[in-house]
Structure 1
Amino acid sequence: MHIGSCTVEEAQTRPEVLEELHRLGVVRRVGADVWQAVPPDLAVEMLIAAREDGHRRARAEAAPLMDAYLRNRAEHHHDTAMVEVVNGADAVRDLWQALLAGARSEVCVLDQPPYISPVEEHVELEVDTRRRHVQWRVIYDRSSVELPGRLAEIASLVASGERARVTPTLPFKLAVVDARVAVLPVAVRAVVDQVLLIRPSPLLDVLTSMFDLYWDNSIPFNPGASGVEVDTQLLALLAAGLTDESIARHLGLGPRTVQRRVRQLMDRCGAQTRFQAGVQAMRRGWL
């Protein structure tokens, strides 16, 4: 046997292996009965390309499947009403994953705890939709921003393309997918095991308009931004309603330093409250 090649006779004990490797593109026939390995770098690229092509086809097929899924759910339940109740944590999680798999253009979220799935799982789902050029607009409630490690996760999502804003309080959790379906979670004892699935209807129109209203009145949020003329990180964290202690931990500063800089920014903005400082900063183009 030559290095990097072999004859069919030498591989006759398992000839199906050669055929499978040939199908995958990692070996090639160089003679009537001689096979040769494809250079590993080229072979790996071919395998990756084949897998990515399969993923693209699957994603292209997901949207019509999602439409059929929603139609069939309505027919199965003899329910043409605008709201369907989905019960059970597993069913809720499956529904959310299916909606994101069928997302085509934009996902709009009012974000506050508790969550349907672990945050790291949600981050992975969001990043996956963005590979299909689905845009995300997310408004974060202060309670979400204050969760341990959440600022770093939001900074990562914003860096990868999410458009984020923050507000002190939100009325409830909400997700609107492509302006064609909404999910309104119902939390009981800090657990989401029931959601309202809202189909095209006046109620969906109201919820979409409500999201846009909150979006217009919330503060742009990028906790990972670097300081320019005005300390944008500090302003963003102020607008989120974080305490001086939380801001100090995030920025790696002493609490008294943060207090002094907060006071200076509020005086500069002519603001009486932290959120007013964020609003004034947005109006002046600092955020």
Structure 2
Amino acid sequence: MQPLEDVFAEQRSNLRSARAALARFGELYTEAQRSEMPGATLLTGAALISRTLEATVNNVHHEVMTAQPGGGRPPDVLEEAIARDLRMLARGVRQRSIYQHTIRLHQPTLAYVDATTRAGAEVRTLAEVFERLIVLDREVAYIPVSDQRADAALEIRHPGMVRFICLFFESAWSRSLPVHGESRPRPPRVTQEVQQAILRAVVSGDTDDSIARRLGMSRRSVSEHIRKVSQQLGSSSRAQLGYLLATSGWRWDGQDPQSAPETTQSTQETTDGP
């Protein structure tokens, strides 16, 4: 099992790569706008976005790639999606979707996954936050304009931009874990990765509410994860927990290292003063 500091280093590297990818994408988009090249269209309004997506999905021939952050999806959305996706899969279209690990505890989403994977879809999950996206036939992509604007999306048809988004998806896909519907238990690695993501956020100083939103889970679940680790490390405060996580060599087998009690004691003395 990896020490926490190694996990942090790996995740920081992944985050830097993702940020560099998004920065490069922004440069491509700006270049396209300045040169008045066709390939990026702003869609405003939920109705227009829905109509555009429906028309494009109905004409897809080969492959659909989607990333859906935010945890389990609403039942009414899933009901609409399952009929559409089963029709698409019946036409021989390959469908790959990435969600966050927390959908593995959401029965409506698992029922959708079970039905679509039986029809040939592929579904995987990740712990970390990623952007919502849809790519069709590697020719057109849809991405949100910003987190603050749910009623606006970009339709991307510029070949260079679409290729870049596809590479971003493939990178996330290679790091994700398969989901097999309702009948299979959660792999232990899933629980470990969720805990890693929560504790990285604790070290970064994020609140429980912020962590819950990012990971698509309830605030209560986040608090329970943090409480258990606090007990294991002997932490008496959030600040002390963050310090201990960053310095104690915490390992992901669920056991705190032998050095942790000594670290905890010295930290407590420092906290309490002479």
| TM-score of the pair, normalised by structure 2 | 0.52
Matches within 5 A, 1:90-239: 90-113=47-70, 118-147=77-106, 149-186=108-145, 188=147, 192-226=150-184, 232-235=185-188, 238=191
TM-superposed CA distance for 1:145, in Å, is 4.6
Paired with 1:141 and 1:237, the residues of 2 have a C-alpha distance of: 10
Structure 2 gaps of 5+ residues are 1-35, 199-227, 229-250, 255-274
Q: What is the DSSP-based 3-state SS (H/G/I as helix, E as strand, rest coil) of the residue aligned with 2:57?
A: helix
Q: 1:146 to 1:172 in 2, by over 3 A?
A: farther
How far 1:219 sits from its partner (Å)? Answer: 1.0
Of 16, 23, 38, the match for 1:81: 38
**Number of equivalent positions:** 164
Deviation of the 1:223 alpha carbon = 3.3
The answer to whether the 8 Å contact 1:103/1:177 transfers is yes
Distance (whole Å) between structure 2 residues aligned to residue 178 and residue 154 of structure 1: 21
Structure 1 window deviating more from structure 2 (150-159 vs 92-101): it is: 150-159
The structure that has the greater radius of gyration is 1
CA contact (8 A) 2:40 2:158 kept: no
Which structure 2 residues correspond to residues 33-44 of structure 1 after superposition, within 5 A? none
Aligned-partner SS, 1:110:
strand
Quick one: which amino acid aligns to residue 211 of structure 1? F
Relative to total residues, which structure has the larger helix share, 1 or 2?
A: 2
Q: Conserved in 2, the CA contact under 8 Å of 1:107 and 1:177? A: yes
Instruction: Report the Cα offset of residue 143 of structure 1.
Output: 4.9
Contact 1:182 1:197 in 2 (8 A): yes
SS in 2 for 1:222: coil
CA contact 2:104–2:186 (8 Å) conserved in 1: no
Assess if the C-alpha contact under 8 Å between 2:117 and 2:180 holds in 1: yes
Q: Deviation at 1:139? A: 1.0
Whole-angstrom CA distance in 2 between matches of 1:125 and 1:142: 24
What percentage of residue pairs aligned between the two structures are identical? Answer: 19
- In 1, distance between residues paired with 2:253 and 2:166? 29
Deviations 1:225-284 (A, max 9, x none): 45xxxxx544486377499xxxxxxxxxxxxxxx9xxxxxxxxxxx8169xxxxxxxxxx
Structure 1: give runs of 5+ residues left out of the alignment.
Answer: 1-78, 227-231, 244-258, 260-270, 275-287
Quick one: which amino acid aligns to residue 194 of structure 1?
A
Higher relative contact order (CA 8 A, sep 6+): 2
CA separation of 1:193 and 1:143: change in aligned 2, threshold 3 A: farther
Note the C-alpha offset of 1:177. 0.3
- The alignment partner of 1:149 has SS state of helix
In the TM superposition, what whole-angstrom CA distance separates every residue of 1:177-199 from its partner, at most 9, and x where no partner exists? Answer: 0000001024655x732111000
TM-score by length of 1: 0.50
Note the aligned Cα RMSD (angstroms): 3.2
* Cα deviations by residue, 1:155-201 (Å, 9 ceiling, x for unpaired): 22222211111100232101110000001024655x73211100032
